[in-house]
Structure 1
Amino acid sequence: MAESQATSATAVENHDSQTKQVQEIAADYNHLPERYIRKQDEEYDNVNNTPVSSPMSEVVPVIDISLLTSSLSELHKLKSAVSSWGCFQAINHGIEGSFLEKVREISKLFFRFSGEEKKKYLRAEDNIEGYGNDMVLYLNVLPKQQRRLQFWPQNPSNFREVVDEYVSKIELINEFLLKALARSLNLEENSFLDQYGTSATMEARFNYYPPCPWPNKVFGVKPHADISALTFLLQDKEVEGLQVLKDGQWVGVPILPLALTINVGDQLEIMSNGIFKSPMHRVLINSKDARMTVALFCMPQTERDIGPVDGLVTDETPRLYKSVTFTVDSFFKYYQKGRRAIDVCKI
Structure 2
Amino acid sequence: MAEASVDLPAEILLSKRVQEMVLDKKEPPAPYKCRDDADSEDDDPISMSPIPLIDLGCLLLSTSEVPAQEIVEVLEKINAALSSWGCFQAIGHGISNLLLDKVRQISREFFAQPMEEKKKYAKTVVDFEGYGADPVPEEGQSLDWSDRLFLNVQPEDQRNYKFWPMTPESFRDVLLEYTDEMKRVTELISRAMAKSLNLDENCFLKQFGERSQLQARFNYYSPCKRPDLVLGLKPHSDGSGYTIIMQDEVGLQVLKDDKWYKIPKNPHALLVLMADQMEIMTNGIFKSPVHRVLSNSERDRISVAVFYTPEVGKEIGPEDGLVNERTPKLFKMVKDYADTHFGYYQRGMRALHTAQA
From 304, 311, 314, the counterpart of 1:294? 304
- 1:66 alignment counterpart: 57
Question: RCO (CA 8 Å, sep 6+): is it higher in 1 or 2?
Answer: 1
Query: Whole-Å Cα distance in 2 between the matches of residues 254 and 61 of structure 1?
Result: 10
Give yes or no for contact 2:35–2:228 (8 Å, CA) kept in 1: no
Aligned equivalent of 2:329, options 316, 319, 330: 319
Matches within 5 A, 1:298-309: 298-309=308-319
Residue 334 of structure 1 aligns to which amino acid in structure 2? Y
Residues 179-199 of structure 1, C-alpha deviations (whole Å, 9 max, x = no match): 111111111111111111010
| C-alpha contact (below 8 Å) 1:204/1:294 kept by paired residues | yes
1:127 counterpart residue number = 127
* In 2, Cα distance between equivalents of 1:52 and 1:288: 15
> Which residue of 2 is the match for residue 9 of structure 1?
none
Q: Which of 158-167 and 68-77 deviates more?
A: 68-77
Given that 2:46 and 2:262 are in contact with CA atoms closer than 8 Å, whether structure 1 keeps it comes out as no
Q: Secondary structure at the match of 1:289?
A: coil
Q: Contact 2:277–2:337 at 8 Å: present in 1 too?
A: no
Partners of 1:65 and 1:91 within 8 A in 2: yes
Number of residues paired by the alignment?
328
Output the CA distance in 1 between the equivalents of 2:39 and 2:184: 38
- Tell me which structure has the larger Cα radius of gyration: 2
Q: SS in structure 2 opposite 1:14?
A: helix
Aligned partner of 1:87 in structure 2 is 87
Displacement after TM superposition at 1:268 (Å): 0.7
How far is the alpha carbon of 1:59 from its aligned partner? 1.1
Q: CA deviation at 1:51?
A: 5.8
Q: In the alignment, is residue 23 of structure 1 matched against residue 8 of structure 2?
A: no
Counterpart of 1:55 (choices 43, 46, 49) is 46
For each residue in 1:97-137, what CA deviation from the matched residue of structure 2 results, as whole angstroms up to 9, or x when unmatched? Answer: 11100001111111111111111111133311000165210
Q: Note closer, same or farther for the CA distance 1:314–1:195 as it changes in structure 2 (3 Å cut).
A: same
Percent identical: 45
- Of 195, 210, 221, which aligns to 1:198? 210
Distance (Å, rounded) in 2 between the aligned partners of 1:94 and 1:312: 30
Q: Does 1:209 align with 2:255?
A: no
Structure 1 length-normalised TM? 0.89
Unmatched runs of 5 consecutive residues or more in structure 1: 1-11
Counterpart-to-counterpart distance in 2, 1:102 and 1:96: 10
Counterpart residue identity of residue 208, structure 2: Y
Local SS of the residue matching 2:244? strand
Structure 2, unmatched stretches of 5+, are: 1-8, 134-145
Helix, strand or coil: the match of 1:161? Answer: helix
**Is 1:37 paired with 2:45?**
no
State the 1:55 CA deviation.
Answer: 3.2
Task: Give the match's secondary structure for 2:271.
Answer: strand
**8 Å contact kept, 2:218–2:302:** yes
Q: Find the counterpart in structure 1 of residue 273 from structure 2.
A: 263
The answer as to whether partners of 2:52 and 2:88 remain within 8 angstroms in 1 is: yes
Aligned partner (choices 311, 331, 351) of residue 341 of structure 1: 351
- Paired residues of 2:237 and 2:350 also in contact (CA < 8 A): yes
Distance in 1, matches of 2:171 and 2:337, equals 27
CA RMSD of aligned residues (A): 2.2
How has the CA–CA distance of structure 1 residues 170 and 13 changed in structure 2, closer, same or farther, with 3 Å as cutoff? farther
Partners in 1 of 2:247 and 2:355 — Cα distance?
31
Offset from partner CA, 1:69-101 (integer Å, 9 cap, x none): 642111101100011000001001101111100
1:14 paired to 2:11: yes
